[in-house]
Structure 1
Amino acid sequence: MSKAEEVSGAPIAAESTLMFQEAAAASAVVEQQFEANREKIIAAVEQIHAFAPRALVTMARGSSDHAATYAKYLAETRLSLLTSSAAPSVSSVYHAKQNLEQTLYLAISQSGKSPDLLAGVETAKQSGALTVALVNVEDSPLAAMADIVLPLHAGAEKSVAATKSYIATLAGILNLIATYTNDTELLNARDQLPAQLARAWANDWTAAGVDALREARNLFVIGRGYGFGVAQEAALKFKETCGLHAEAFSAAEVKHGPMAIVNAGFPVLVFAQQDETRSGTDALVSDFVARDARVLYAAENAPAGQALPVVEGAHAATAPILQVQSFYRLANALSVARGYNPDTPPHLNKVTETL
């Protein structure tokens, strides 16, 4: 019996896991969120416009922080707002304050009760920021504390691995920024997202992914721009559900040292969207192939033998959300194939109450 089997117990069917069922619900969750938050988003945008922020600060950990990476790229490209990720320990451990006047402070959490996030929001309010909470638990301490609350409406998530709540967070960020900019193209992409998520779930990466990664010990996960946060999320999910060491890199950074360990058979999962980052990502994939790496490429018109199916014609800002939906199906299946139970990763809890 493998060590993974010793940890997880008897083999289980991939489609019976809570992770599978919860990830499959993402399309319905996002549709519900958009409808339930229709008036809240409009009111939030009016309040933010009146506040006239000059910068955006995000506060999050884990999967929520990966969603914050997506927020950074979307805010800086669509709102021209300089965006920074706050270090929770600055407030919760060092008890330091910053001048946050005219700063929009976005706290992201599923539970809304992590002490370090609460400390950060409290400090931000005292320092002049307008605070916004993207949170799944509407009666949480975070929701009570923030100036603006945008519920995720993901419902209860029982699997330790966040899936539908992560996608709901990305959708919430997209909705807020699309509404704020009143960008017709971005609003149309938002409106298409629920139906496209259903199509993305049907894009099954399982066969190619399990074959490439069942015996793997290490891999790289690559993204750039809007897709970098999804690469971070995928690397985390490989670790927590599959016992597989994965590192996320920007396509612009991986050649600055990490490329030295890539050799024949080294697995690489690459995410790409149809925007200004695509040509550089294609060139990087060619470099991986030249080193005989085993490349799985989630992108439109990817070369045969590398390509993972994606939703064709998706907006560059929604393509990563669709790709992570397909990825979750793979991660769940790979976890089971490697002898794990993705719902109960060893040594992990649903809420990490870091101080």
Structure 2
Amino acid sequence: MSLALHAGLPAETETLMHNEAAQAAEVVAAQFARNREAVAALAAQLRAAPPPFVATCARGSSDHAATYAKYLIETQLGVVTASLSPSIGSVYASPLRLEGALFIAISQSGKSPDLLRNAEAAKASGARVVALVNVEDSPLARLADTVIPLGAGPEKSVAATKSYLASLAAIAQLVAHWKDDPVLLAALDTLPQALRDAWQQDWSPLTDGLVDARNLFVLGRGLGLGAAQEAALKFKETCGLHAEAYSSAEVKHGPMALVGSGFPVLVFAQPDETGPGALAVADEFHGRGAEVWVASAATRDAGKGSSVALPLASAAHPALAPLLTVQSFYRAINALALRRGHNPDLPPHLNKVTETV
């Protein structure tokens, strides 16, 4: 990874973002150990009284974690999961029918007014409220039926990193216990070391290639869509680079008309049924002259070896691959921000906690 080239900026390994993201493996290991009994108890209750559906409520990076939750719960458990708009309870004050549902609120601070109002309304309507929260004495934690602490510790960089990965890990642990799946449960034990391996991956080709970029597409699908959403947000907030996230299927419904010679595209290919389709889209875009980077564990056909390959750490279960992809991405985006003359810890006009109503 390159060192910062702009005077007044910290070195690459001295930013808060770099050091906080590097803590993810230890955070996840401690979180799994601490929460195991509480999560197993909640999972047993959910098996005994299955909710008719799951509603998530979150904003920003936490909402990208909710996207991951949607795909993980639906693929592993077959329970329909939908994102509840925070404005329904806070701005419109519209009553919702959530009796018997599982309501998952995801928040770092646990004090955003709109999330609190929706959690209160969900509880009043008969939903079971589960809070994934980093601040354990927050208002959201106090009103929830069950709290799953993220345990990320203080996060001073405005850009969320370890707390985002901790959110994904908490979701994976809950689903693994809810399904009572020995394969996924065993895979969780390997996740901390896999995150360490992911942190060591060299994505400098991506950093080098985007120093002067102005626009970018980030593609993912299924379990990897939330990772693409998170990456697009980080490009904007830390690098001043306009990036949009799309499903590798949805991008063909209009947005791909923008992709031509030199247009940058970053593709996250999941090691599951969605992977071949993502790789096919990458090849199609490269054929149009786009600059394409592909993060994939799949072996590419040498005849189609057109995209720049970004190495991925091996995931013991496909459901955990997005965490490893994002961890490698965080190191690369920290370096890219500095190369572009931005301090990733202090994005302009942004605060660590955004309290929307």
TM range (shorter): over 0.9
Give, in whole Å, the separation in 2 of the partners of 1:333 and 1:313.
24
Amino acid at match of 1:110: Q
Corresponding position of 1:16? 14
Measured after TM superposition, the shift of residue 339 of structure 1 is: 0.3
Measured after TM superposition, the shift of residue 186 of structure 1 is: 1.0
Amino acid at match of 1:323: T
Unaligned runs of 5+ in 2: none
Give, in whole Å, the separation in 2 of the partners of 1:94 and 1:340.
38
Amino acid at match of 1:292: G
Contact preservation (8 Å) 1:51, 1:130: no
Give, in whole Å, the separation in 2 of the partners of 1:281 and 1:176.
28
Contact preservation (8 Å) 2:194, 2:314: no
Provide closer, same or farther for how the CA distance between residues 273 and 112 of structure 1 changes in structure 2, counting only shifts above 3 A.
same
- Relative to structure 2, which stretch is displaced further, 138-147 or 312-321? 312-321
Count of residue pairs the alignment pairs up: 348
3-state SS, counterpart of residue 295 of structure 1: strand
2:152 to 144, 151, 154: 154
CA displacement 1:69-119 (0-9 Å, x = unmatched): 000000111111111100000000111111101210000000000000000
- Relative to structure 2, which stretch is displaced further, 181-190 or 22-31? 181-190
Give, in whole Å, the separation in 1 of the partners of 2:327 and 2:265.
18
CA displacement 1:43-77 (0-9 Å, x = unmatched): 22123234320100000000000000000000111
Give, in whole Å, the separation in 2 of the partners of 1:280 and 1:231.
15
Measured after TM superposition, the shift of residue 177 of structure 1 is: 0.2
3-state SS, counterpart of residue 245 of structure 2: strand
Corresponding position of 1:221? 218
Q: Aligned residues: percent identity?
A: 59
Measured after TM superposition, the shift of residue 220 of structure 1 is: 0.2
Contact preservation (8 Å) 2:315, 2:324: no
Give, in whole Å, the separation in 1 of the partners of 2:314 and 2:62.
27
Corresponding position of 1:25? 23
Unaligned runs of 5+ in 1: none
3-state SS, counterpart of residue 66 of structure 2: helix
Corresponding position of 2:317? 315
Measured after TM superposition, the shift of residue 272 of structure 1 is: 1.1
Contact preservation (8 Å) 2:265, 2:292: yes
Amino acid at match of 1:135: V
Provide closer, same or farther for how the CA distance between residues 314 and 222 of structure 1 changes in structure 2, counting only shifts above 3 A.
farther
Corresponding position of 1:271? 268
Give, in whole Å, the separation in 1 of the partners of 2:239 and 2:196.
24
Corresponding position of 2:284? 287
Give, in whole Å, the separation in 1 of the partners of 2:312 and 2:7.
34
Measured after TM superposition, the shift of residue 313 of structure 1 is: 5.1
3-state SS, counterpart of residue 110 of structure 2: coil
Contact preservation (8 Å) 1:54, 1:81: yes
Corresponding position of 1:345? 347
Provide closer, same or farther for how the CA distance between residues 279 and 267 of structure 1 changes in structure 2, counting only shifts above 3 A.
same
- Relative to structure 2, which stretch is displaced further, 317-326 or 45-54? 45-54
Give, in whole Å, the separation in 2 of the partners of 1:229 and 1:326.
15
Structure 1 runs (4+) greater than 4 angstroms displaced: none
Give, in whole Å, the separation in 2 of the partners of 1:155 and 1:237.
20
Measured after TM superposition, the shift of residue 304 of structure 1 is: 6.6
Amino acid at match of 2:287: A
**2:336 equivalent to 1:334:** yes
Corresponding position of 1:306? 308
Amino acid at match of 1:30: V
3-state SS, counterpart of residue 137 of structure 1: coil
3-state SS, counterpart of residue 37 of structure 1: helix
Provide closer, same or farther for how the CA distance between residues 107 and 9 of structure 1 changes in structure 2, counting only shifts above 3 A.
farther
3-state SS, counterpart of residue 102 of structure 1: coil
Q: Any residues of structure 2 matched to 1:168-187 within 5 Å, and which?
A: 168-187=166-185
TM-score (norm 2): 0.95
3-state SS, counterpart of residue 81 of structure 1: coil
3-state SS, counterpart of residue 48 of structure 1: helix
